[in-house]
Amino acid sequence: MLFSHARRWVYPLSVDGWHQRMRRWTFLALHLVLFVTPWIMIGGHPALLFDLEARRLYAFGSIFTAADTLLLLLLLLFLAFALFFFTSLYGRLWCGYGCPQTVFLDAWIRPLERWIEGDRARRQQRDLGPWTFDKVRRKAAKWTLFALVAVITSMAFMSFFAGARELWTGRAGPVEYALVGIFAAAWFLDFVWFREQFCNYVCPYARFQSALTDEDTLIISYDTARGEPRGGLGAREEGRCIACNKCVAVCPQGIDIRDGFQLECVACARCVDACGDVMGRLGHESLVRYTTLAETQGRRTHWIRPRTVVYAGLLTGIAAAWIGLLATRTPFEATVSRAPGSLFTVDADGEVRNTYLLSITNNDPRQGELPFVVRVDGIEGAEVTAQEIRLAPTESRTVPLVIRVRNRTDLPRTVPIKVRVSSPRSEMVLDATFKTGGSIVSPGS
């Protein structure tokens, strides 16, 4: 376990091949998401910004607030089930192609390490040797670059919370920079020392793999039937494993895929490319490949099975609910409450007056300034006085709303009313009550 015996340091050999080229494309796409998205502006706001202080989410031209909690919960639920669905079909492809830990290690850390300290054998040799000036110089250069990568990636991540323009120009708050420091320290520790141990001992996703996968899930596997017995005379000609150990040397998790499926495997396909290279030179196919347990046992793989059908059904239901909620969502917030300390007042002209506080927030960043109109239903002959309300995107205002009604005897003490707040594109209906006071309404009541 992690602290029960000495760490066996892994020195993965560099490797290239079709799968590594595919991984580099996904790495590029993910880097674009991380480094470019926070700089894109839509309607005067970042394309994606979690403004925790104002409790707002800016997402591709829309603003979501605490009133949209259900929408956000449904989105999280959708993402969770999408991960279950994807994992049940494709196993740990996320780990090998999309996880930030894998992406940063393979895109930055290992290439920098190789550039400064050389490939596997030289690194192993140098680490076993004494601390010379050359070793100190190389380690210092490597760790400095690792620290730089840790800070840059942490800044990029925090840009989604503090705003890229503010964060990268020194205009964010001390809390934001403190968080960058904490994230950068964690990443630095991971780059310098923790690495594959994170997948093996900490990552929760790796822990519940066995509950999400079955024998029809895509895995990376060694072809025992074709590869064994490994080595010996004739192995090269017959396409058996030549025991070159290259698949082990390239593995960043330090495992031997020929021992069978292991939870430590992050499906990075480095062993597939390594063996593809070795066996390709001998005129044979790779002995390590993407397959399923069912296939390795000579059965057909079933992509449609009870668990994938259930996940697909749940995803469809959640997506439909989410789209329905989004379509009926009002792009502004409004609340009405009785003005403090006032139930009702009888004016000099005999009219009964109730005063409220109406708060409106414009959450539509695409329409510019919007006018809001207030009407009241549910009480006949009501005279409504509200200030003209025009709000710029994200602007909030609280205004007094005064409702006056002629003194009549046919009204109960409390009349339920509807306050309708309309913008040019949508309307929100708020429930409130109008207090008449018994003595002025129905003598003797």
Residues forming contacts to ligand SF4 in the complex (CB under 6 A) are 220, 222, 227, 241-247, 250-251, 253, 255, 257-258, 265-271, 274-275, 278-279, 287-288
* Residues 377-404: b if buried by 16+ CB within 10 A, e if exposed: eebeebeeebeebebebbeeeeeebebb
Tell me how far, at minimum, the Cβ of 226 lies from ligand SF4, in Å.
10
Question: In this structure, what token pair is assigned to residue 356?
Answer: 């409220």
Nearer to ligand SF4, 105 or 405 (CB): 105
Question: In this structure, what token pair is assigned to residue 213?
Answer: 């996968």
Nearer to ligand SF4, 7 or 55 (CB): 7
Nearer to ligand SF4, 172 or 247 (CB): 247
Tell me how far, at minimum, the Cβ of 190 lies from ligand SF4, in Å.
17
Tell me how far, at minimum, the Cβ of 223 lies from ligand SF4, in Å.
8
Nearer to ligand SF4, 245 or 433 (CB): 245
Pairing label, strands 62-64, 56-59: antiparallel
Alpha-carbon distances, residue 13 vs 21, 114, 247, 250 (angstroms) = 16, 9, 9, 4
Nearer to ligand SF4, 279 or 403 (CB): 279
Nearer to ligand SF4, 226 or 338 (CB): 226
Tell me how far, at minimum, the Cβ of 30 lies from ligand SF4, in Å.
18
Tell me how far, at minimum, the Cβ of 271 lies from ligand SF4, in Å.
3
Tell me how far, at minimum, the Cβ of 110 lies from ligand SF4, in Å.
13
CA dihedral sign of residues 266, 267, 268, 271:
positive
Pairing label, strands 389-391, 288-292: unpaired
Compute the distance between CA of residue 215 and CA of residue 297 in angstroms, rounded to an integer: 9
Nearer to ligand SF4, 262 or 316 (CB): 262
Compute the distance between CA of residue 388 and CA of residue 403 in angstroms, rounded to an integer: 15
Q: Is the peptide bond before 229 cis (omega within 30 degrees of 0)?
A: yes
Nearest CA-CA partner of 402 in 333, 345, 341:
345
Alpha-carbon distances, residue 334 vs 185, 419, 422, 427 (angstroms) = 43, 10, 10, 10
- Phi, psi at residue 62, to the nearest 5°? -120, 155
Tell me how far, at minimum, the Cβ of 19 lies from ligand SF4, in Å.
9
Tell me how far, at minimum, the Cβ of 95 lies from ligand SF4, in Å.
8
DSSP of 357-416: EEEEEE--TTS-SEEEEEEEESSTT-EEEE--EEE-TT-EEEEEEEEEE---SS--SEEE
Nearer to ligand SF4, 182 or 243 (CB): 243
